[in-house]
Amino acid sequence: MNEKVCVVRTNLWIDPVFDQLLTENDKVDLRIIDVTAPEQEWYETLKHAHYYHVSAAKDELPAGLFVTEALLAHCPGLKGVSSSGAGYDTIDVAACNARNITVVNQAGGNANSVAEMALGLLLAVSRKIVESDRTLIAQQASSREALMGHEVAGKTLGLIGIGHIGSRFAQMATGLGMNVLAYDPNLTPQDIGLRQAQPVAFDVLLAQSDIVSLHCPLNNDTRDMFNAQAFRAMKRGAIFISTARGGIHNEEDLHASLHDGHLAGAGLDVWRQEPPEADNPLLGHPRVVATFHTAGVSHEGRRNVARMAAQQLLLMVDGKTPPHVVTS
Domain-embedded: residue 328:
no
**3 labelled catalytic:** no
Same domain, 45 and 131: no
Same domain, 66 and 124: no
Q: Maximum distance among all alpha carbons in the chain?
A: 76
Q: Which residues pair with 33 in a beta bridge?
A: 10
Same domain, 14 and 37: yes
- CA-based nearest residue to 176, from 143, 210, 144, 208: 210
One of 245, 249, 287, 302 is an active-site residue; which one?
Answer: 245
Range with the lowest mean pLDDT among 96-110, 129-143, 167-181?
129-143
One of 9, 195, 249, 293 is an active-site residue; which one?
Answer: 293
Confidence of residue 159 (pLDDT cuts 50, 70, 90): very high
Residue 177 exposed, middle or buried by CB count within 10 Å (0-12, 13-18, 19+) = exposed
Sign of the C-alpha dihedral computed for residues 63, 69, 72 and 74 taken in this order = negative
Same domain, 102 and 233: no
Cα angle 117-296-291, degrees, rounded to a multiple of 5: 55
One of 48, 74, 232, 274 is an active-site residue; which one?
Answer: 274
Same domain, 151 and 282: yes
Sign of the C-alpha dihedral computed for residues 245, 289, 208 and 177 taken in this order = positive
Domain-embedded: residue 327:
no
Same domain, 119 and 262: yes
CATH of residue 57's domain is 3.40.50.720
Domain-embedded: residue 10:
yes
Whether the per-residue pLDDT at 177 is higher than 60: the answer is yes
Whether the per-residue pLDDT at 143 is higher than 90: the answer is no
Q: What is the tally of structural domains in the chain?
A: 2
Same domain, 216 and 202: yes
**293 labelled catalytic:** yes
For the chain, what is the total number of helices (H) and then of strands (E)? Answer: 12, 12
Same domain, 164 and 276: yes
Confidence of residue 211 (pLDDT cuts 50, 70, 90): very high
Same domain, 155 and 280: yes
Same domain, 272 and 165: yes
**272 labelled catalytic:** no
Domain-embedded: residue 295:
no
Domain-embedded: residue 325:
no
Report the amino acid identity of residue 2. N
Same domain, 21 and 127: no
Whether the per-residue pLDDT at 1 is higher than 60: the answer is no
User: By residue range, what is the domain housing residue 94?
Assistant: 5-109+300-317
